Amino acid sequence: MYNIIRFIIRYHLLLLFIILESVSFYLIGQNSRFHRAAYLNTANAINGNVFKVYNDATGYLFLGKVNDSLANENAKLRAMLMQSKFDGRLDTLVDTDTLGGKLMQRFTYIPSKVIRNSIDNANNIIYINRGSNQGISNQMGVINMNGIVGQVVDVTENYAAVMSVLNKDFKVSAKLKKNNYFGNLRWDGNNASNATMDEMPKHVPVKKGDTLVTSGFSTLFPEGIIVGYVKEVKSEVDKPFLVVRITLSTNFRNLNYVYVVNNLQRKEILTLDSTTTKATK
Amino acid sequence: MFDIIRQNLVRFILLLLLQVLLVSNLNLSPYISPNIFPLFILLLPFATPRWLLMLIGFFAGLLLDIFLGTTGMNAAATLLVAYLRPFLINLITPRGNEFDQSPNIFSQGLTWFLIYVSITVFVHHSFYLLVESGTFYNLLQLLIRVVFSTAMSMIFMFIGLYLFSVRKKRKA
């Protein structure tokens, strides 16, 4: 016993260091889910106010820009209205479904504002000021006027955490607009405006400048939302697939307003998915 | 005594706000993520007991974590700096030179201070960025990030140090 006490006294600094360092790593190891939730819940009282004041102040500085972007957005929406289409039913409406000759609403959009954003980390998370009270739930897609932004990963009452496209864990199914060949898009971790496309077979004709859109295979995004443009295509002898580098269409450096995509048929698709998996087993 | 506590508390709040509201929001490039917060630990008085230094380092880092939403990562890195600080001071201070106050560019000299800050910031950034990336996979990229971030952090730190030191002199 005496020896133990002597040991503790002798090495108390090192022990304290090890204990505190373990606590830190325990916190880090509590997985991102925990710290996002903790951040959103407990820190919001102090921290939400600080950021709110900060955002209110800086918001004024960008009013001009925001107005411009809202005007653009409005123009786009107006173009989507049925009255501005010649024959909307056949080819143009991507976010509605025809069923029995009647148009059904498939996606609704919840506008929200980014309250915190980062692009410099290896795993970037965006926080937005809408939560479960406003109808947001986990696994919803997030877009803005230029393209896709990410996917909701955590929700509290009035805030939500969005896994940005600039995140090592983010993957989205995308296809070439001109010929519908699809593959997986992921961030390569280097640059806030570039990503890489996997699983594109070598025979697919891809050129620099081709447009990539969402495939609509996942329940996250409607089909046909612009993802980015092909920047560079490399064909390596020892690999079965092409290396396609992409310039993302969304500018993550000045995200301000985003839209959370609410897929009204998500549950239906997921149910179908699970029953099919069971049936084929 | 009270004066020293107050001075450090003000410095702490100032650095926290600067880091959270300004430096972390600069988004200069994915290779540059500066962090000026370790400066708070570096400028604590020499006579701070080592256990207190570590506790301060840990909880200060944790507070920064809460603001940045990175639970634990800053705490771990700041704690490491607080733990290593006394060893480093012993190592780079010539024997016989006893400092009796807080580290300061003017009393310890620019060379001493530059070595002191650069080593600590380099260690801090290496550790922090390694923990953040969570893998040894792309070491070259990591090293580039560390070097650029360290350089940028030090530029910010020295700008701040000179600004505030000048103001103190005028007051006296």
Residue-by-residue DSSP string for chain B: -HHHHHHHHHHHHHHHHIIIIIGGG---BTTB----THHHHHTS-TT--HHHHHHHHHHHHHHHHHHHT-TTHHHHHHHHHHHHHHHHHHHHSPTT----S---HHHH-HHHHHHHHHHHHHHHHHHHHHHHHT-STTHHHHHHHHHHHHHHHHHHHHHHHHHHHHHHHHH-
Interchain CB distance below 8 Å, B66 and A39: yes
What digits encode the pLDDT tens for the residues A35-65? 555 555 555 556 666 777 777 777 777 777 7
What digits encode the pLDDT tens for the residues A192-223? 888 988 888 888 888 888 999 988 787 888 88
Q: Given pLDDT bands bounded at 50, 70 and 90, which one contains residue A266?
A: confident
- CATH number, domain of A186, equals 2.40.10.350
Which pLDDT value is given to residue A206? 87
d(CA A27, nearest CA chain B) in Å: 5
The domain in which residue A230 lies consists of: 171-252
- Tell me which of A177-181, B21-25, B27-31 is least confident: B27-31
As a whole number, the mean pLDDT across chain A is: 79
Mean pLDDT, residues A137-151: 88
Q: Express the helix, strand and coil content of chain A in percent, nearest 5 each.
A: 35, 30, 30
Which pLDDT value is given to residue B152? 93
Nearest CB to B71: which of A13, A27, A50? A27
Integer Cα distance of B10 and B15 in angstroms: 9
A24 neighbourhood in chain B, CB within 8 Å: 58, 61-62, 72-73, 75-76, 79
- Asked if the structure places residue A72 within a domain, the reply is no
Integer Cα distance of B109 and B163 in angstroms: 17
The residue of chain B nearest to residue A190, with distances taken between CA atoms, is B30
The residue type found at B78 is T
Nearest CB to B27: which of A21, A25, A120? A120
Interchain CB distance below 8 Å, A30 and B76: no
- Asked if the structure places residue A179 within a domain, the reply is yes
The residue of chain A nearest to residue B83, with distances taken between CA atoms, is A17
Q: Do the beta carbons of residue A160 and residue A127 sit within 8 Å?
A: yes
pLDDT of B127 strictly over 80: yes
Mean pLDDT, residues B120-131: 92
**What residues contact residue A83 under an 8 Å CB cut-off, 6+ apart?**
none
Q: Is the pTM of this model over 0.80?
A: no
Our count of domains for chain A comes to: 2
- Asked if the structure places residue A50 within a domain, the reply is no
What digits encode the pLDDT tens for the residues B81-103? 999 999 998 888 877 666 667 88
Boundaries of every domain in chain B = 2-171
pLDDT of B164 strictly over 80: no
Interchain CB distance below 8 Å, B134 and A191: no
What digits encode the pLDDT tens for the residues A5-30? 888 888 888 888 888 888 888 887 76
A121 neighbourhood in chain B, CB within 8 Å: 33, 132
Q: Do the beta carbons of residue B25 and residue A115 sit within 8 Å?
A: no
Which pLDDT value is given to residue B130? 87
Which pLDDT value is given to residue A40? 59
DSSP helix/strand/coil, A94: coil
**Residues from B in contact with A at Cβ < 8 Å:** 20-21, 24, 27-30, 32-33, 50-51, 54-55, 58, 61-62, 65-67, 69-73, 75-76, 79-80, 83, 131-134, 138, 141
pLDDT of A98 strictly over 80: no
Is A23 touching B (CB cutoff 8 A)?
yes
- Asked if the structure places residue A131 within a domain, the reply is no
Mean pLDDT, residues A216-239: 84
Nearest CB to B72: which of A16, A25, A125? A25
Nearest CB to A35: which of B54, B69, B138? B69
Mean pLDDT, residues A92-115: 64
DSSP helix/strand/coil, A153: strand
- Please report the sign of the dihedral spanned by the C-alpha atoms of residue A95, residue A99, residue A103, residue A104: negative
Nearest CB to A39: which of B51, B69, B75? B69
Sequence length of chain A is 281
The 8-class DSSP code of residue A123 comes to E
As a whole number, the mean pLDDT across chain B is: 85
